[in-house]
A = this chain, B = another copy of it.
């Protein structure tokens, strides 16, 4: 009676693989077509699992959405960190965020920040989603502050640079062009130069 061969409680590695498969499928669908427009049945058929398994792994759609956002958060952090790591100077590490954006914007599937989209669509009525999006954005602000501090730049620069990155994502999505990444990078460089000049004026 103790032999549980399947279900949500056993074979943890297989369940994790299934979870990842479902989350990847749901992420692609949600991001490209919007969350409300994609039903659980389409997630099920795209991921190739049964409805029963789907609901065994995720108690409901809200839980699946949160898993998708966590997945997207990991991808975002990987992309940012890879670009930061590829940069040479501390100043370059700050600007690397905008290189990452420039690359991202040229992807065929780019459709803005998935967190902003989810917030606008599900924010009211789903506080857990709104809160997770807030945490994601706070995390980005914190990382930016870290990079600014490590470059020896004044800390008030961090939220300003984050604003540029945020605006670039939205503008690139709506206007359908990758140019905002370059505009944001140029503005960021100006802000960095100005703070260098200010610091140099009174050492």
Q: A54 in the interface, Cβ–Cβ < 8 Å?
A: no
Q: Does residue A125 face the partner (Cβ distance < 8 Å to B)? A: yes
Asked if B124 contacts A121 (CB within 8 A), the reply is: no
- How many angstroms from the CA of A56 to the CA of B133 in the assembled complex? 40
A residues 1-55 in Cβ contact with B at 8 Å: 32-34, 36-37
State whether the Cβ of A162 lies closer than 8 Å to any Cβ in chain B.
Answer: yes
Contact B171 A124 (CB under 8 A): no
The answer on a CB contact under 8 Å between B173 and A187 is no
Which among B121, B160, B174 is the interface contact of A121 at CB below 8 angstroms?
A: B121
**A125 near B37 (CB under 8 angstroms)?**
yes
CB distance from A157 to the nearest CB of B (A): 9
A170 touching B170 by the CB < 8 A rule?
yes
A60 within 8 A of B: no
A194 contacts across to B, CB distance below 8 A: 190, 193-194
Cα of A138 to Cα of B176 in the assembled complex, Å: 11
Nearest CB on B from A72, distance (A): 14
Query: Do A156 and B186 touch across chains, with their CB atoms under 8 A apart?
Result: yes
Taking a contact as CB atoms under 8 Å apart, the answer to whether A134 and B176 are in contact is yes
Question: Which residues of A (125-179) have their CB < 8 Å from a CB of B?
Answer: 125, 130, 133-134, 137-138, 156, 159-160, 162-168, 170-171, 173-176, 179
Which residues of A pack against B, CB within 8 Å? Answer: 32-34, 36-37, 111-113, 115-125, 130, 133-134, 137-138, 156, 159-160, 162-168, 170-171, 173-176, 179-180, 183-184, 186-187, 190-191, 193-195
Q: Using A120-B121, A163-B171 as known contacts, list a sample of 4 further A-B pairs with CB atoms less than 8 Å apart, ordered by residue number in A.
A: A32-B124, A163-B184, A190-B195, A193-B194
